[in-house]
A and B are shown apart, each in its own frame.
Chain A
Amino acid sequence: MKPIPSFDLHRPETLEEALELLSELEGSRPIAGGTDLLMSLREGDCKAKHLVDLGLVKELRCIREDKGTISIGSTTTVAQVVESRLINAKAPVLSEASSSLGSVQIRNLATMGGNLCNASPGADTATPLLVLGAGIEVASRKGSKSMPLSELFTGPNRTSLAPGELLTEIRFPIPPTGSGASFQKLGRRKSCTLSLINAAAYLEMNGKTCREARVAFGACAPTPMRALEVEGLLRGLKLDIKAVEEVSSACYGLVQPSTRAHARASEEYRREMSCVLMRRALTEAWERARRNTR
C-alpha cells in the first residue's frame, strides 16, 4: 500500500479556532474520523498541505433533542448514533442504516458529518436523513447558514461547501405519530459491505391514506437522491399491496444509475433493484406507521 504523503497536522480545540485555520491555511482540509480521507490521501485522489483535525473540538460531538428537533453534531461518530437511545426511540431508521455502515471498528472512528461530506452516491446515512427531512448547518469564519441536506451533494465525492466552510450540525424534526420509515440496503454480502444500492422511505398515514411521503435512493444517481416523482405518486394515495407494487415499479425509469463499466453493479440491475428495494421500504414504513399510534 502506498504511504500517506506528508502534511502539517493542526489540532484545534474550539470550533472558532478550527474555522480560523480552515480559512487561513491554503490547501487545508478538515479531518474527522479519517476512514475515507486517509484512503483518498494514500491513493492520491485528494491532496492536502494541511489537515485540520476536528477530534478535539468537543462542541461538534453531541446528540440533542430540543423543541421537537434532533440535532447531531457533525463529528459525532456513527457508533454514537447506533448506541443513542434517543435516536433508537425516535428515528430507528437512522439507527438501522448507521449500524449497516462499515464494521464496529469503522463505526467507532467514522463520523456522521464525514459520511455526508465524503458525498459517496451510496452513503448509508444520507438516504435515511433525506427521508427524515434533514437540514444541515454550515459554518465559516464569516458566520453560519442553514440549508436542506439535499443541497450539500453536487456529484460523486463533491459537495457545495466552499473552502473554509465546515458542516457543523445535522438536524431533523422528530417524526410524528402515524409515521413510519424504513431503510433497505443491498450489498454483495451482509457484513461490512458497501451499498450496491440502498433505499429509504418515510410515510405519514391518515387511516389508509398517505398524508406525506418522502423516499430516497443511494447509489442510483451521481448523488444520494430524493425521488420526488415517487413522492408525488404516494401523497394522497390510498395504500394497499397493489398500490405499493405500482408505485415501486415506477422507480425503474426514475432513477439514474451510473453507466460506467467499472461501477459496482450494472445500470439495468440497479434499475430493477430500485423497484424491489422501494417495495420493501414502503411495505415496512407503512407497517411501522400503522403500529405508531401512541
Chain B
Amino acid sequence: MKTSFTLNGKKTEVETSTNQTLLDLLREDLDVKSVKKGCEAGECGACTVLLDEKPVTSCFVLAPQVENRSVTTVEGLVEDELMVALRDAFMKDGAIQCGFCTPGLLLSVYALLRENPRPTESEIKKGIEGNICRCTGYVKIVEAIIDAAEKIASD
C-alpha cells in the first residue's frame, strides 16, 4: 500500500507492506541508517525515532501506521541548535564509544530537553531508561546531557 508521511520535514510517499516495521522501512527502503536495528523487542532503544515529536521504538510501529504523521531522525536535526549542543557535549565529554546507541540516545534526550530544559539527574536517568549503552556505563552520557542543558540555558 502507498503510505505518505513527513520524514525529517520532507513529504515522503513510499510503498509499504502491512507487516513491515517503521524500522525496516527507514533503514532498507529509505536508507536512513542512523536508526539502528538492535533487539527488535522494544528494549534497547537503538531504533528510537521521534513520531510526532515523541520518542518511540520504531521496531514497534508498523510502516503504514505513520500515514499523515511526522517522523524525525538525527538526519533531520543536523542543524538544530539543541541537537548541535547535545552532539558537541556528547563528543567533548566522551559520551560516545562504539556509537551504536548514540542516535537513539540523542533523540530521547532531545525530546526530554524540549519538554524539560533543566532536568534533574534523576529526570535525566528516567528520560534515557529506554536506551541501552553497553560501552560507557552512562556516567559520561549523563554528564554530557547536564553540560548541554547548561550551555543551552546560558546562550
Contact = CB atoms under 8 A, between A and B. Distances in A.
A1 B19 contact: no
Interface in B21-75: 21, 39-43, 45, 48, 51, 54-57, 59-62, 64-65, 67
Contacts of A109: 56-57, 60-61
A8 B18 contact: yes
B129 A34 contact: no
B19 A105 contact: no
Nearest to B68: A56
B56 A7 contact: no
A7 B19 contact: yes
B64 A192 contact: no
B18 A105 contact: no
A256 interface: no
Nearest to A77: B54
A7 B41 contact: no
Interface string B120-141: 0000011101110000000000
B62 A34 contact: yes
Give the size category of A's interface with B. Answer: 20 to 34
A35 interface: yes
Contact of B130 (A3, A5, A99, A103): A103
Given A39-B41, A103-B130, A191-B125, A108 B19 contact: no
Interface residues of B, number: 33
A7 B127 contact: no
Contact of B61 (A11, A34, A42, A102): A34
A1 B41 contact: yes
Contact of A103 (B17, B40, B45, B59): B45
A294 B89 CA distance: 47
B102 interface: no
Nearest to B16: A9
A6 B19 contact: yes
Contacts of A38: 21, 59-60, 62
B60 A33 contact: yes
A31 B19 CA distance: 13
A251 B48 CA distance: 41
A192 B129 contact: yes
A192 B130 CA distance: 6
23 contacts: A1-B40, A1-B41, A4-B21, A6-B19, A11-B64, A11-B65, A35-B57, A35-B60, A38-B59, A38-B62, A51-B18, A55-B65, A99-B126, A104-B129, A104-B130, A105-B130, A106-B57, A106-B60, A106-B130, A109-B56, A109-B57, A191-B125, A191-B126
Interface of A: 1, 3-9, 11, 31, 33-35, 38-39, 42, 51, 53, 55, 79, 99, 102-106, 108-109, 191-192
Interface of B: 1, 17-19, 21, 39-43, 45, 48, 51, 54-57, 59-62, 64-65, 67, 108, 111-112, 125-127, 129-131
